[in-house]
């Protein structure tokens, strides 16, 4: 294709409203254009790169036993109401009614519909496992769409759904999908890490996120480089790096100390000259309308996802100052765990053999030498802390580091979460009906595209991996007015096209500087420059976009075969 004919309007300046590097480059290179907040139009080059990723996804899904179908974007409310997710998704779901008043939604995901579809047929255990996938748009009314394609309101996803006879079958299917996902993300050129994750609104008892490390990622995780343990911070467990010394022998009695004006952990540690882990903070939370006193070490932060699971609630929030005063009769900075009349959840890192400083339950006072078990008890003990860098790996004992990343894929073991409420059963060998044991497996296609650019770029623009590049080669004649140069460029272009190579010819009457800058911005993997030196030597300059310092002189006669070999041997 001629570059002048490609609909890829480029921007010379960085867009002010693009908050990620990938978003900036996609706009500057003319891959996408913003239609509304969180809604994008894919232009020619962006669509071609997106389709390359989809092709890789299809190849791996098909080769690992999945079958492609296509489900509608517009779905009736009834299956969602049966699983309870019609209300759970809340305002994030785009809901509408037809002319008869029947409720529908634009699909944020398709667990309900695929389960109802499979459940409407009478399958024998002999037909299992069954694994169905489709690649289509999803819709979620994000409160704050941001990061370009990484968090948008309309996005393309590959989602697969497996139906097995039992947990053993699910485990085998899950491992096949896990392998397929590793293959997919390697093939598109990503450096990634599968991490243990919370299942969120999708549900199920186990899941993994496939995460690409990025400074602007929304997924935070803890990882151990020694043993490979990695988990989302919503799920990760670890031992604190520092602990109070255990008290041996007789335990000192609680000691009430006047601390006027001392409320925060920083003020308490300064007042008593102790490290923050020697202090306990007590915070009042409201979970599904019920008050809970949350007790954890002064150097820790509450992980609200863990808290919700521990108290088996759907939503929680920190109590207001007024609610604290009404329930406990003190300023929030003076709340303590001793003698309170509400349920207490204590983080498991709080030890029963260590003396702590706590709020006394009286304004202007704190109490030291307080012991868990002797002076206060827990209604629930659970891991509710957020893991920090430097904490101890729960597997091997080495230090953890924390990072942020872009979640590009997620796999879930659903069990019977959807098959039971939707009455999706298979017929077992004894003739009885049993619910399918399900899994689901999602890949964000647009997110993957953005993640590729996040990992493959330089100060000049995109550096496409060969596997997902919209075009593999750009031919750049530097003096279009010179017939010999132009004819040589056209001849190479025609030869590459005849060989089935996706090639672009820069046919524009522009300066060498503009042509080079655009070639670098657009990021095609192979650049072939035909300039005045060709008139003297008969050679073309062939360079890889990823390493432009390495220019290879190739004769015009050998150029086509040399370029094909470069494409075929690309990683």
Give the CATH number, domain containing residue 477: 3.40.50.800
- Which regions in the chain score pLDDT beneath 50? none
Q: Does residue 413 share a domain with residue 298? A: no
CATH number at residue 376: 3.90.960.10
Q: What is the pLDDT of residue 320?
A: 95
Q: Are residues 111 and 187 in the same domain?
A: yes
CA atoms within 13 A on the CB side of 192: 26
Co-location of 201 and 288 in the same domain: no
Structural domain harbouring 352: 255-382
Same domain, 516 and 547: yes
Regarding whether 556 and 441 lie in a shared domain, the answer is: no
Residue 263 included in any domain = yes
466 in a domain, yes or no?
A: no
Count the domains in the chain.
Answer: 3
Quick check: is 179 in a domain? yes
Neighbour order of strands in the sheet with 473-477: 503-505, 473-477, 526-530, 539-544, 547-555
pLDDT value at residue 60? 98
- State whether residue 12 is helix, strand or coil: coil
Rounded Cα gap, residues 168 and 129, in angstroms: 11
Full DSSP string of 124-144: EGGG--EEEEEEEEEE---SS
Are residue 97 and residue 162 in the same domain, yes or no?
Answer: yes
* List of long-range contacts for 63-68, beta carbons under 8 Å, 24+ apart: 63/180, 64/176, 64/177, 64/179, 64/180, 65/129, 65/131, 65/173, 65/176, 66/131, 66/132, 66/133, 66/160, 66/162, 66/177, 66/180, 67/130, 67/131, 67/132, 67/133, 68/132, 68/133, 68/134, 68/135
CA dihedral 564, 567, 568, 571 (to 10 degrees): 160
What pLDDT score does 146 carry?
85
Tokens 């957020």 correspond to 386
Is residue 506 exposed (0-12), middle (13-18) or buried (19+ Cβ within 10 Å)?
buried
pLDDT at site 205? 63
Specify the pLDDT at position 204.
55
Could you tell me if 65 and 136 lie in one domain?
yes
Q: What angle do CA 274, 280, 282 make, to 5 degrees?
A: 145
Distance of CA 243 to the CA centre of its chain: 33
CB atoms within 10 A of CB 165: 18
492 lies in the same domain as 433 = no
On whether both 421 and 359 belong to a single domain, the answer is no
Based on the fold, state whether residues 133 and 279 are members of the same structural domain.
Answer: no
CATH number, domain containing residue 232: 3.30.930.10
| Domain boundary pick from 412, 427, 453 | 453
Instruction: Give me 295's structure tokens.
Output: 């007790």
275 with 212, same domain: the answer is no
216 and 263: one domain?
no
Tokens of 66: 């999945």
pTM of the model: 0.87
Q: At what angle do helices 44-63 and 167-187 cross, to 10 degrees?
A: 140
Residue 397, in any domain of the structure: no
């Amino acid at each position: 294709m001629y570059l002048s004919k490609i609909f890829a309007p480029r921007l010379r300046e960085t867009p002010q409203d693009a908050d990620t590097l990938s978003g900036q480059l996609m706009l500057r290179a003319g891959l996408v254009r913003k239609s509304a907040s969180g809604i994008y139009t894919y232009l020619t080059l962006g669509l071609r790169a997106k389709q390359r990723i989809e092709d890789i996804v299809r190849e791996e899904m098909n080769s690992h036993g999945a079958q492609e179908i296509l489900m509608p974007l517009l779905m009736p409310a009834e299956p969602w109401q049966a699983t309870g997710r019609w209300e759970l998704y809340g305002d994030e779901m785009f809901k509408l009614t037809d002319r008869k008043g029947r409720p529908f939604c634009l699909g944020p995901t398709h667990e309900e519909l695929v389960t109802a579809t499979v459940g409407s047929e009478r399958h024998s255990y002999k037909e299992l496992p069954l694994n169905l996938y489709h690649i289509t748009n999803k819709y979620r009314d994000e409160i704050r769409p941001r990061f370009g394609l990484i968090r948008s309101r309309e996005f393309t996803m590959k989602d697969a759904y497996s139906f097995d006879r039992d947990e053993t079958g699910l485990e085998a299917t899950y491992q096949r999908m896990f392998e397929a996902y590793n293959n997919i993300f390697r093939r598109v050129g990503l450096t990634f890490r599968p991490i243990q994750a919370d299942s969120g609104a999708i549900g199920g008892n186990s899941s993994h996120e496939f995460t690409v490390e990025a400074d602007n990622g929304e997924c935070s995780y803890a990882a151990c480089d020694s043993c490979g343990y990695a988990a989302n911070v919503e799920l990760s467990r670890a031992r604190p790096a520092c602990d109070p010394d255990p008290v041996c022998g007789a335990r000192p009695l609680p000691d009430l100390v006047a601390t006027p004006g001392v409320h925060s952990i920083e003020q308490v540690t300064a007042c008593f000259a102790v490290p923050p882990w020697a202090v306990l903070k007590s915070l009042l939370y409201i979970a599904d309308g019920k008050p809970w006193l949350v007790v954890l070490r002064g150097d820790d932060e509450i992980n609200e996802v863990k808290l919700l699971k521990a108290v088996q609630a759907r939503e929680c929030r920190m109590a207001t100052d007024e609610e604290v005063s009404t329930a406990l009769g003190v300023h929030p900075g003076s709340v303590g765990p001793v003698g309170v009349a509400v349920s207490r959840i204590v983080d498991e890192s709080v030890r029963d053999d260590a003396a702590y400083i706590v709020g006394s339950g009286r304004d202007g006072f704190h109490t030291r030498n307080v012991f868990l078990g002797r002076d206060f008890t827990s209604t629930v003990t659970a891991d509710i802390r957020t893991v920090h860098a430097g904490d101890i790996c729960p597997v091997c004992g080495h230090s953890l580091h924390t990072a942020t990343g872009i979640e590009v894929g997620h796999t879930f073991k659903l069990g019977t979460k959807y098959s039971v409420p939707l009455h999706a059963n298979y017929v077992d060998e004894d003739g009885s009906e049993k619910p399918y044991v399900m899994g689901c497996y999602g890949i964000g296609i647009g997110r993957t595209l953005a993640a590729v650019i996040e990992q493959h770029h330089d100060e000049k623009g995109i550096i496409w991996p060969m596997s997902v590049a919209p075009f593999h080669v750009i031919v750049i004649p530097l003096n279009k007015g010179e017939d010999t140069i132009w004819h040589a460029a056209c001849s190479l272009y025609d030869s590459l096209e005849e060989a089935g190579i996706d090639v672009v010819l820069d046919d524009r009457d522009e300066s060498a500087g503009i042509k080079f800058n655009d070639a670098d911005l657009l990021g095609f993997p192979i650049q072939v420059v035909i300039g005045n030196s060709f008139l003297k030597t008969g050679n073309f300059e062939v360079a890889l976009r990823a390493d432009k310092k390495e220019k290879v002189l190739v004769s015009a006669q050998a150029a086509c075969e040399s370029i094909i070999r470069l494409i075929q041997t690309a990683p």
